[in-house]
Chain A
Amino acid sequence: MAKVPVQFTLNGSETAEFVDSGTTLLHTLRDKIGDTSPKGGCHQGTCGACSVIIDGELRLSCLTLAETCDGAVISTTSGLSENGILHPLQRAFLDTFATQCGFCTPGMIMAAKVLLDHTPNPSRDEVVEALSGNICRCTGYEPIIQAVLTAARSNSQNAA
């Protein structure tokens, strides 16, 4: 089958790839481009481990075809740290022990990032709602919720 060219901005860098038509964005990111931060947990839309941000919106890369992302701006967790300094969400996840095996973490962080981008000081309920499409089998969720609230607080302190 003829390959299809796809171009998008990935974590600030122009990226181009030839993919088989019908290839998912998850497969393209991980196996073609080498960004393994989105994880393939279920490939069913159920676990949220593959969550990425496309044009400012949280999406599931396992259910998104790469071709539909032509021209899009995509962010993944691997693009969050700057010059070796962790993003406040990454820092908070480490500090509050919100990550154990870590498989769900990049998806959780993407879901939390979209929330904080739109709602810098979320309530606990807003955090729970924002993470409601992401499953964690290790932490029991509470430390993750605390991590997001902690990151929000540290963001607002930095802004003050």
Chain B
Amino acid sequence: MALALQTFATVKDANAALKAQGSRYLGGGTLVVRAANEGDVSVSGLIRSTEPSLSAIVVAGGKVRIGASVTMAAIGGHPELGMLAKAARAVGGPAIRNMATIGGNLFAPAPYGDFAVALLALDATVSTEESETPIETFLANRDGSRAIVTSVGFTLPPQGGFRFLKVSRVKPKGISVLSIAAVLQQAPDGTISSAWIALGCMADRPMRARAAEKALLGRKLTEDGVAAALAAAGEGTAPITDPIASAWYRAEVLPVHLGRLLLA
């Protein structure tokens, strides 16, 4: 294995080095080193930056900014991010979570990317040195993205406003059959005034369940109230097939699990 690692103190210098052919950014390495171990020769050089801001979590005035090198374990254990702990702890086992970064999760292909599903429901913004991009646009264009992601920002939903569910077959921890995140706002009478629902494994990357979101508006979280949303949940999806589950199976069980999440 000929994999040269270069470490830079600043993101700026690391970004410049990333322009070289065959170079790839190294986050926690759980995907990129794994690929190299498996014989992927498309990567010949790894680049990383140790700039401290990449490892910072800032929570102020209801807004959150998480540096790209922050690990799932750090998010899962952060006292002010308790709402997201379930999603962070859904990623891998303890050792993986000590290594897996939020930056890397944005690039993880399905069945991975459970935390990116949560970020999509939170309508996060993905920052690089030069730009700030809504996560949905970022995910759509990620294959061509070369710039280092520096941080991810979002507004914390009100207490109880964020829901997350990961379905896996291996207990207590396994790869996703699917994952679902939802940020719901309810009017005082209990009807849904705003709904963002994100799905994992229902395409090659996290996607919004727009038809289900629309069908929830003005409805209550009762069996009758969510029925139209569940019927629409699969609209626009193209689930993956892998050793965990077939596309058919994923499509069949999606409404069941979305129903459990909404009625919980």
CB of B4 within 8 A of CB of A21, answer yes
Whether the Cβ atoms of A133 and B33 lie closer than 8 Å is: no
Task: Name the distance in Å between A28's Cβ and chain B's nearest Cβ.
Answer: 13
Task: Tell me the bound Cα distance from A63 to B34 in angstroms.
Answer: 6
Interface 1/0 per residue, B91-133 and A, CB below 8 Å:
0111110110000000000000000000000000000000000
- Provide the residues of chain A in CB contact with B99, threshold 8 Å: 59-60, 63-64
Q: Mark A23-51, 1 if CB is under 8 A from B, else 0.
A: 11000000000000000000111001001
Q: In the bound complex, how far is the Cα of B26 from the Cα of A68, in angstroms?
A: 11
Whether B95 contacts A60 by the Cβ 8 Å rule is yes
Q: Are B5 and A133 in contact, with the CB atoms below 8 A?
A: no
Q: Dominant SS at the B interface?
A: mixed
Chain B minimum-CB-distance residue to A115: B94
Say whether A94 faces chain B, with CB atoms less than 8 Å apart. Answer: no
Is A65's CB under 8 angstroms from B33's CB? Answer: yes
Interface size on A, residues (CB 8 A): 29
- With contacts A22-B5, A64-B99 taken as known, whether A44 is within 8 angstroms of B38 at the C-beta atoms is yes
> Are the C-beta atoms of A22 and B172 separated by less than 8 Å?
no
Q: What's the minimum C-beta distance from A51 to chain B, rounded to whole angstroms?
A: 6
Q: Which of A84-92, A95-103, A124-132, A147-155 contacts B (4 or more CB under 8 A)?
A: A124-132
Find the A residue at minimum CB distance from B172.
A132
Tell me if A57 counts as interface (CB < 8 A to partner B): yes
Question: B94 and A114: CB pair below 8 A?
Answer: yes
* Given A68-B5, A129-B172, A58 contacting B34 (CB threshold 8 A): no
Nearest CB in chain A: distance from B56 CB, A: 18
Interface footprint category on B = 20 to 34
Q: Which residues of B contact A128 (CB under 8 A)?
A: 172
Evaluate whether A63 and B30 lie within 8 angstroms (CB atoms) in the complex, with A22-B2, A22-B3, A57-B73 already known: yes
Please indicate which of the listed interface residues A22, A51, A67, A68 has the most CB atoms of chain B within 10 Å of its own CB: A22
Tell yes or no: A1 within 8 A of B by CB: yes
Contacts A22-B5, A63-B99: A133 and B46 contacting too (C-beta < 8 A)?
no
Does B95 lie within 8 Å of A65, measured CB to CB? no
As a 0/1 sequence over residues 73 to 87 of chain B, the CB contacts with chain A under 8 angstroms (1 = contact) are 100000000000000
Task: Kindly list 8 other residue pairs between chains A and B, CB separation below 8 angstroms, not including A24-B37, A60-B99, A132-B173.
Answer: A1-B4, A62-B37, A65-B29, A65-B46, A68-B7, A129-B172, A132-B94, A134-B93
